[in-house]
Amino acid sequence: MSYVALYRAWRPQRFSDVVGQEHVVTTLIHALEMNRLAHAYLFAGPRGTGKTSLAKILAKAVNCEQPEGIEPCNVCPACTGINAGAVMDVVEMDAASNRGIDEIRGLLEQVRYVPTEVKKKVYIIDEVHMLTPEAFNALLKTLEEPPNYCLFVLATTELHKVPATIASRCQRFSFGRVKVERVVQRLQEVAATLSVAVEESALWLIARLTEGGLRDALSLLDQVVAFSSDHIGVEQVAEVTGGVSSEKIGELCSLVFAHDHGGLLSLLSAFWERGVDPSQLIVETLSYLRDAIVQKCGGVEIDKSDRVQYDPTFAVVISHVQPSILLQIAERMGHLQAEMRFQSQARLYIEVSLLALIDQMDPVVDQKPVLEPSKQGVPSEDLLIMRQELQQLVQRIELLERKQWVENRQIAEQRTQEATEEAPERQIRNPVQETPLVRQSTSVSPMQSKGRHAWQGKQMNAQDQELLTTLEQRWVPLLEEMKRTSIQTRAWLYAGRPVGVFGHHLVIAFKSSLHAETVIKSPHRELIEEVLQQRLQRPVVIATILEEEWERVKNHMINGDSDQNVGKVSEPWVGKVIELLGEDRVRVIDE
């Protein structure tokens, strides 16, 4: 006796055997019970979801000689003949290979004759969207008003290619992909009859790879059984499909998270030696990242990931990773997938791209290059509570600082107004609009505002001079790094150059006052300081200055000359104003 493939041996024979299409089965059963069966049906859905199988069950149900309620008995001559394809009145035609008008005309010639073997003629046309326009036109009239002894069942995987004139003459049913859990249940039933030990994790992986196609799942299980006749696990499934196991993809991601260049290259080299296709590696990595993003963003309830069923390391790998990092990697992998067709050396391109990605992204805290599930775990509840309390404390401190700064500013403005009223013979003419020595934002905190004046009057020591030289040499790479953070900020900063370092203070000189004033404003100032702090590993406060003003300040530092305007000030109230507002923002004019 010849071997029968699993998907054929386990093909549904009754309505109760159909998996995952309850809405279609229920409607057809009720139609049969109430004798309200339509003359034409259109089954549309992905491959392997039961369209043709349900059409044959319906053909048996309307012709069964000894039905068990609504279910066909599968033992009478009509049922056995339909199962064997030996009944001439039940015609199953593949429109992909019989798509012309001549084939349809031959079919319509048979419609005129009454059935001879069974009660009702049934015509099942699979992949009906492949018919030519002429064939569709020939089918129209008969499909609209067929003889009462005829039933048409059309099946298609591409509903949008079926003309509206055909679809409107049929009752349409949409077949959905079978849920992974249902596919696994069916595979477990099949595996129980086999003489091979099959791990449940392997069944979950098969169901995941076939994307809700039960026929494809049974075919893949059949193939894996032929490959490994004694034991089937996740490794055997991955080897048969030519892909990479989920645990290996997790190891790849953990190496990227940990910035482990050497480990990443070694793992990729192992993939290439095994013959892993680069395009398939990108697809599986994207699938892994997609599941991770769903988990991290709280989509577990609406999209329950089944990866944990066959990959115990999945939850451990993503436990310390922020969604922003996952999105960054997924976006880059998506670009890689689109660019692969233009690359002649795909393996080298993937290696270089992943290494470049590592250098661009922030390292993941507490992430080890190679994860061991037995030693790693998710953060404890106490640690999470401590993190939340620390974040709340930081927010309260920032709020108090902003409040104190507003109060100090109001006091300074009030004192300035009182001082001006007491000395009417001298005027301070809009000091903010005068050309200042240092351009700075008026929306900074008290600590920042104080820090931006602190560098004036100081001399650069040897350490400051060394850091300035380093910044001058690395200014172009810093601009490129800023470009990845904010293109607009980098455009404004491009016109400047570092001219002075005074402790934590960096002075940047510009030729244009517009550039100097814009760079020091929010959010450009914060972005620049953040990038500099990450690169230099030290606090940085920036200040901007015009080139011509910097030359004057530099000469002042060298010669020790005092500022002419400030040197003339002898009145106490003027000194008080300068102390409150800063000497770089005040110009005294004698009249």
Let me know if 504 is exposed, middle or buried by CB neighbors in 10 A (0-12, 13-18, 19+): middle
436-463 CB burial, b ≥16 within 10 A, e <16: bbbbbbeebeeebbebbbebbeeebeee
Average pLDDT score over residue span 200-223:
85
Residue 435 belongs to a domain: no
Q: Is the pLDDT of residue 560 over 60?
A: no
Distance of CA 115 to the CA centre of its chain: 56
Q: Which contiguous run of DSSP H or E holds residue 110? A: helix 101-111
pLDDT in tens, 8-49: 888 888 898 888 888 899 999 999 988 888 889 999 988 888
Do 20 and 150 share a domain, yes or no? Answer: yes
Do 17 and 165 share a domain, yes or no? Answer: yes
Number of folded domains that form the chain: 4
Do 162 and 264 share a domain, yes or no? Answer: no
Q: Are 553 and 562 in contact (CB under 8 A)?
A: no
Do 294 and 319 share a domain, yes or no? Answer: yes
* Amino acid in the structure at residue 105: R
Let me know if 555 is exposed, middle or buried by CB neighbors in 10 A (0-12, 13-18, 19+): exposed
* Amino acid in the structure at residue 517: E
Do 45 and 152 share a domain, yes or no? Answer: yes
Token pair, residue 396, equals 């309260």
Q: Dump the DSSP string for 521-535.
A: STTHHHHHHHHHHHH
Distance CA 60, CA 67 (A): 9
Distance CA 132, CA 138 (A): 10
Q: Are 47 and 157 in contact (CB under 8 A)?
A: yes
Mean pLDDT score of the chain: 78
What's the half-sphere exposure (Cβ side, CA atoms, 13 Å) at 481?
Answer: 19
Do 11 and 48 share a domain, yes or no? Answer: yes
pLDDT in tens, 38-59: 889 999 988 888 899 999 999 9
Do 17 and 136 share a domain, yes or no? Answer: yes
Residue 438 belongs to a domain: no
Residue 256 belongs to a domain: yes
Q: Which domain, by its residues, includes 311?
A: 246-360
Q: Are 314 and 250 in contact (CB under 8 A)?
A: yes
CATH code of the domain in which 105 resides: 3.40.50.300
CATH code of the domain in which 289 resides: 1.20.272.10
Do 105 and 188 share a domain, yes or no? Answer: no
Average pLDDT score over residue span 462-487:
84
Average pLDDT score over residue span 427-455:
40
The reported pTM is 0.56
Q: Are 459 and 590 in contact (CB under 8 A)?
A: no
Do 116 and 140 share a domain, yes or no? Answer: yes
